[in-house]
Structure 1
Amino acid sequence: MDIITRLSLLGGIRSFGFSAIWPYVGLILYRVGVPLYLIGGFYAIQTVISVIGQLGGGVITDKLGRKKAMILGTIGGSVSLLLAYVFYNSFPLVLCILSQTMFNSIYSVANTTMVGDTRKGVSKLVLAYSRLRVGINAGWALGPFVGGALMSLVGYRFSFMFTAIITGISIPFIITLEESRARPTRINFHVGKNFALFLIPAAMLFMVMGLMGFGLTLYYNDVRGIPLYEVGTLFAVNGFMIVFLQEIIGRVFSTRVRLSLILGSILYFVSYSLVSLCYSFLLAILDMTVITCGEMIVSPVIQALAADMSEETNRGQYMGVFGFASSLGRNLGNIMISEVMNYYLKEGFLWPLAASPALISAIGFSVLTTNKRVHLS
């Protein structure tokens, strides 16, 4: 079994556990008494913690090696989740979730860097990241559904214990991996100008990608009255579509990089703008299929371009900076939607406004690829 397939299976185990709680974190905090405006503050702090984890994870990945960084991130994350179960109260719970965010960021950088070590060229990297996403989303397809069911049956608290156990199970699988590359490099977060320019529209798109968690969950559950287990089913639709279609779409778009960047961004804008019109569970499912199509088209291409544009000797730190842009964008998306929902939760313009960064990113990618700032091969 090659390294990409093994990383894909490993990603499936981890994402199954993690996705059982991740889409519901904002809702859990809301249910334990944290007001909406403070949830926005939580996501702001989480952004800072994630940034530190991504940048620090890049250094750890280059200094210690990819495998050791993945082990560190997994053990730390599992312990944090166990503590969340033990200290299930608003303030201690927030601290435990933030700790888990830090360790998960370290793991994420090491994982994506290991994939970048194994392939050369954008088209091959697109295929590699597509396969990685298949495993991750197999877990994602089941996790939110199982998590939503657990929360409905036994409450929110037990979900943290469940996720901690599943995360811990992945440790022996990480130990069996061969180290891809470990280089004693100096700490240097300076990246090339073109790489930095590429991160601007990427971060804008990540803002919209981040809406799939707290934003959709709260809106569908509180405004549309869709039960949590059905919201979990929506995430399962997303996951299963990626499991069965991601590699096919990856092959189609691996040589159509510019098209995938622009088309995927536009699909994100259109699909999230239509959330306001989803009055029923069926309409929500139909809209989720469009969201997922955008995700499958653009996500592996963005990862592949980041890996291809990174310097080989400092790839971990480059991918850490890329992870910083991803975390910043996703968490800013959560901050934006939580603050806007505080005032306009039931207004029709809520979702077109939240989706607008994706349209800006489509324009940005078009400009960068036209001016050859981003190399497509």
Structure 2
Amino acid sequence: MKEKWESYPSSIRLLAIAAIIFSTGMACIWPLVTIYIHDYLGKPLTVAGFLLLLNQGAFLIGSVAGGMLFDRWGKMRTIILSSAGIIAMSTSLGFTDDFTLYTIFFLLNGLFYGTLSPVINALAVVLWPEGGRKGLNMIYVAQNAGVAAGSALGGVLASVSFAWTFFGNAITQVIVLVLFAVMLPRYVKSLALKPQSPEMPAQEAGKAEMLLSQPAPAKKVVWGALLMLCAGLLISWIVYVQWTTVLSAYMQSLGISLRQYSFLWTINGGLILFGQPLIAWVISRFARTLKAQMLLGSYVFVLSMLILSQTTSYTGFVAAMFVMTLGEMLVWPAVPAVAAEYTPEGQEGFIQGLVSGTGSAGRMLGPLLGAFIFQTFQAEGLLYIMAGLALLSVLFFALHSSFQKGSHRVPVQTAEKL
């Protein structure tokens, strides 16, 4: 394990630590939001659900805006603005019990979290461009480790006071900001000073300079591929989010307890953290390209829904969660890695923000669509329709490469903004 950790560049290791702390703070709040709004603020569950929907909308807007700021305004400025916003909003949430103020602060907190979220993936692309899916997978695993730690920490803090869940979130974000302030200037400057190819012959250097002076490839090639990628990701999230919404209620109707349902997410987190050797073996045997990885993950999502359609026992749900987690481990890191492969330099933030925002859109639409289908066609109909949607995501992921032909990363010879 130590050798594997040390195989990553120090910049990615520090970024992974920042991602763990970032997700820990976020997870201090998220699992308890519904309980806090319903039990502490005295609002109906429908109000809590609607507020969560608005929060995801704010996250989506923040993701796109944060990516654009990352590219055009500067990396460190974007991080400072986002972190300061999270710290201020989280602290304010801890000091208020007024629902109107809570709503405002909660939505702004989602906006600032959305602004900072794509920065982490974009930095993985900028700091280790040759790392590909390896670097982004490290960030994915780190964020899930933070979610597991934050969920446990949030419960401890809530037992003292709900206010401390918000204060704990603010404290973790202060630590993240300090880490970025220490890490980012050093690594970005080292990249700017790094020679492109010190041993390149003069003739080859001339050819490279000529290529750099040529106009960038047509944007429609990149955006067409991104549209297919984002469509596949959106549908995948719609399918996945049924586990946290409709399926939780369905399981209770079958007599499966909340403790048993929570244990499924323990399986999910444990497999993500400790199942990396398994997923590495699967990738090496069955998904050697990123496209194959996305396609395989989508097929696994289909299998998970089909397993659920054929069982009402808890054992069946455990098996389906195991399978769904494998699909998640294949798809979630692969999509940003594919997007990074043909992102023009200088637009890493915007593209990663678009990917992050697409996931948020799926988390917004999924509960509404799932509830409507469940009420209309019952559980069996929902599961078959979700399996069909997962197959549709296979189609979109397969089609993206037809737009990708001829696209490539376009170097931009400008100084990196901090």
Which bin holds the TM-score, normalised by the shorter protein?
0.7 to 0.9
Distance 1:367 1:238 in 2: 29
1:100 and 2:109 matched: yes
Are residues 25 and 111 of structure 1, via their aligned partners in 2, closer, same or farther at CA, if it must alter by over 3 Å? same
| Contact 1:274–1:352, Cα closer than 8 Å, also in 2 | no
Distance apart, 1:247 and its partner CA:
6.4
Distance 1:224 1:240 in 2: 25
Pairwise mapping of residues 315-354 of structure 1 onto structure 2 (< 5 A)?
A: 315-337=348-370, 343=375, 347-354=379-386
1:368 and 2:400 matched: yes
* Residue in 2 that maps onto 1:185: none
* Residue in 1 that maps onto 2:208: none
1:18 and 2:18 matched: no
1:144 and 2:175 matched: no
Partner of 2:325, secondary structure, is helix
The one-letter code matched in structure 1 to 2:298 is S
The one-letter code matched in structure 2 to 1:172 is V
Distance apart, 1:133 and its partner CA:
1.8
1:130 and 2:161 matched: no
The gaps in structure 1 that reach 5 residues or longer are 183-188
1:287 and 2:340 matched: no
Distance 1:39 1:354 in 2: 25
Greater Cα shift, 66-75 or 95-104: 66-75
* Residue in 1 that maps onto 2:127: 118
| Contact 1:39–1:338, Cα closer than 8 Å, also in 2 | no
- Choose from 178, 196, 204 the match for 1:172: 178
Are residues 75 and 248 of structure 1, via their aligned partners in 2, closer, same or farther at CA, if it must alter by over 3 Å? farther
* Residue in 1 that maps onto 2:201: none
Are residues 54 and 291 of structure 1, via their aligned partners in 2, closer, same or farther at CA, if it must alter by over 3 Å? same
Pairwise mapping of residues 1-377 of structure 1 onto structure 2 (< 5 A)?
A: 2-26=10-34, 28-31=36-39, 32-35=41-44, 37-39=46-48, 41-120=50-129, 124-148=131-155, 153=159, 158-179=164-185, 192-215=223-246, 224=255, 226-227=257-258, 231-246=261-276, 249-250=279-280, 252=283, 255-272=288-305, 274=307, 277=311, 279-280=313-314, 284-337=317-370, 343=375, 347-354=379-386, 356-369=388-401, 371=402, 373=404
| Contact 1:7–1:132, Cα closer than 8 Å, also in 2 | yes
Distance 2:380 2:141 in 1: 34
- Number of residue equivalences: 364
Distance 1:265 1:257 in 2: 12
| Contact 1:141–1:238, Cα closer than 8 Å, also in 2 | no
Are residues 274 and 292 of structure 1, via their aligned partners in 2, closer, same or farther at CA, if it must alter by over 3 Å? same
Greater Cα shift, 269-278 or 289-298: 269-278
Distance 1:103 1:372 in 2: 33
After superposition, the C-alpha distances for 1:230-273 in whole angstroms (9 at most, x for unaligned) are: 65543333223222233663573573323211221122233255
The gaps in structure 2 that reach 5 residues or longer are 1-8, 190-218, 409-418
| Contact 2:230–2:358, Cα closer than 8 Å, also in 1 | yes
The one-letter code matched in structure 1 to 2:29 is I
The TM-score, its normalising length taken from structure 1, stands at: 0.81
The one-letter code matched in structure 1 to 2:139 is L
After superposition, the C-alpha distances for 1:8-56 in whole angstroms (9 at most, x for unaligned) are: 1111112122123324434544545544554554344334322321121
RMSD: 3.5
After superposition, the C-alpha distances for 1:122-154 in whole angstroms (9 at most, x for unaligned) are: xx3111111112222222223224435655x45
Distance 1:374 1:37 in 2: 46
Q: Greater Rg, structure 1 or structure 2?
A: 2
Distance 1:19 1:225 in 2: 25
Distance 2:94 2:129 in 1: 43
The one-letter code matched in structure 2 to 1:246 is Q
| Contact 1:204–1:329, Cα closer than 8 Å, also in 2 | yes
After superposition, the C-alpha distances for 1:186-234 in whole angstroms (9 at most, x for unaligned) are: xxx9863222232211221122334454556665568755346x65543
Are residues 273 and 89 of structure 1, via their aligned partners in 2, closer, same or farther at CA, if it must alter by over 3 Å? farther
| Contact 1:88–1:157, Cα closer than 8 Å, also in 2 | no
Distance 1:278 1:145 in 2: 29
Distance 1:355 1:148 in 2: 34
Are residues 270 and 160 of structure 1, via their aligned partners in 2, closer, same or farther at CA, if it must alter by over 3 Å? farther
Distance 1:329 1:81 in 2: 25
